[in-house]
């Protein structure tokens, strides 16, 4: 996580960073994918050797050796990797659906910025088709579906499965926080508080679930009421420090407070977990529940892999260069490398 935080790219900055990668890392085409669990660069280039450090140095000013965290996939292996990622097979929660939307958004941002061409357009369009095929032809998507739903499941474990008398607070009204609200509403929570820098956006989300909206400055007073906080603001800096939480604990009357930080970079300072009756979980802590929920889905992996293998072979066949008569040529096509940083 410490490494991913230094490389993470906000959705609004994908196009800008993609342009920088294309110009400074000598990539012919490029799509940049940055989520809570991965930072990946998909590119076309005649050669990959020696480019990895130059590529990822474009994403961070931190002085850090990224060598232990990088790997490269080329050609068919890169194609298979993207297909597996889009289908949710490489996610913490196997078969989760959020990644498909994230891949789509990353591709559309690159396409709009003129960063894609013949190879990556066909690759990503095929990947999105395969994501749909995997979900309709297999049972990989059954059970817990996303990091948001797993976070809710964690809260149920802590409170013995009953959230009906609990107040939930969402800090940040982005898609991840919105997903958590939906799952919590289905589980019958008593009330929902939504705090966001945009009061208008908070009000829209709160109205949808009969909750209460408040401005970002009111977050600490609202935490006195809350039993569970789900934080996913997209802020580049910490928004809740240990001292902030410690200051409200006396007013809470010794009630447990669960803090679920699903943001990258993290919203909540790590030392907050040292406080009594405060339980802090970040994206990496969710893995224990992820493993439990993935057992049923693992049975479908072979069927998903068959789809990916078949579609990869077909796509690579289309990429083979041909002469005017349609005969295959011996020369290779531009290499498609997947460069990935993942802690």
- Residues with a catalytic annotation lie at 36
Q: How many other C-beta atoms are found inside a 10 Å radius of the C-beta of residue 192?
A: 24
DSSP letter (8 states) at residue 116: -
- Those residues whose C-beta lies under 8 Å from the C-beta of residue 60, and which sit 6 or more positions away, are 6, 7
d(CA 147, CA 286): 8
d(CA 97, CA 120): 22
d(CA 186, CA 98): 19
Contact 32, 113 (CB under 8 A): no
Alpha helices per DSSP H over the chain: 2-7, 14-24, 52-57, 76-86, 98-112, 118-137, 147-158, 175-186, 199-208, 219-223, 242-248, 287-298, 301-319
Q: How many distinct helices (H) and strands (E) make up the chain?
A: 13, 10
Q: How many other C-beta atoms are found inside a 10 Å radius of the C-beta of residue 234?
A: 18
Our CA angle for 82, 173, 189, nearest 5°, is 105
**β-strand 38-45 against 335-341: which pairing, if any?**
antiparallel
Contact 3, 60 (CB under 8 A): no
* CA dist 48 → 20, 32, 99 (Å): 17, 16, 26
212-215: strand order across its sheet: 212-215, 191-196, 167-171, 228-231, 257-261, 278-282
d(CA 116, CA 112): 9
């Amino acid at each position: 996580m410490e490494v991913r935080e230094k490389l993470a790219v906000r959705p609004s900055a994908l196009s800008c960073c993609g342009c920088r990668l294309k110009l400074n890392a000598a990539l012919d085409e490029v799509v940049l994918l940055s989520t809570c669990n991965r930072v990946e660069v998909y590119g076309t280039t005649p050669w990959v050797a020696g480019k990895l450090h130059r590529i990822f140095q474009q994403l961070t000013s931190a002085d850090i050796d990224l060598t232990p965290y990088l790997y490269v996939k080329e050609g068919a292996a890169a194609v298979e990797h993207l297909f597996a990622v889009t289908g949710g097979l490489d996610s913490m929660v196997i078969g989760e659906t959020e990644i498909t939307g994230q891949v789509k958004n990353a591709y559309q941002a690159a396409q709009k910025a003129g960063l894609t061409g013949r190879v990556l357009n066909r690759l990503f369009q095929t990947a999105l088709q395969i994501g749909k095929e995997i979900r309709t032809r297999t049972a990989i998507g059954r059970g817990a579906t996303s990091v948001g739903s797993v976070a809710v499941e964690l809260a149920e474990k802590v409170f013995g499965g009953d959230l009906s008398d609990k107040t939930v607070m969402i800090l940040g009204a982005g898609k991840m926080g919105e997903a958590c609200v939906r799952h919590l509403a289905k589980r019958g929570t008593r009330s929902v508080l939504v705090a966001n820098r945009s009061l208008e956006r908070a009000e829209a989300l709160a109205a949808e679930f009969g909750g209460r909206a408040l401005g970002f400055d009111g977050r600490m007073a609202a935490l006195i009421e809350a039993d569970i906080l789900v934080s996913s603001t997209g802020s580049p800096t910490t928004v809740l420090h240990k001292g902030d939480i410690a200051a409200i604990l006396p007013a809470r009357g010794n009630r447990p407070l669960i803090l679920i930080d699903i943001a990258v970079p993290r919203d909540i300072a790590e030392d907050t977990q040292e406080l009594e009756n405060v339980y802090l979980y970040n994206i990496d802590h969710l893995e224990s529940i992820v493993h439990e929920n993935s057992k049923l889905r693992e049975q479908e992996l072979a069927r998903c892999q068959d789809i990916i293998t078949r579609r990869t072979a077909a796509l690579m066949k289309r990429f083979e260069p041909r002469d005017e008569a349609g005969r295959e040529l011996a020369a290779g096509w531009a290499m498609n490398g997947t460069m990935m940083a993942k802690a």
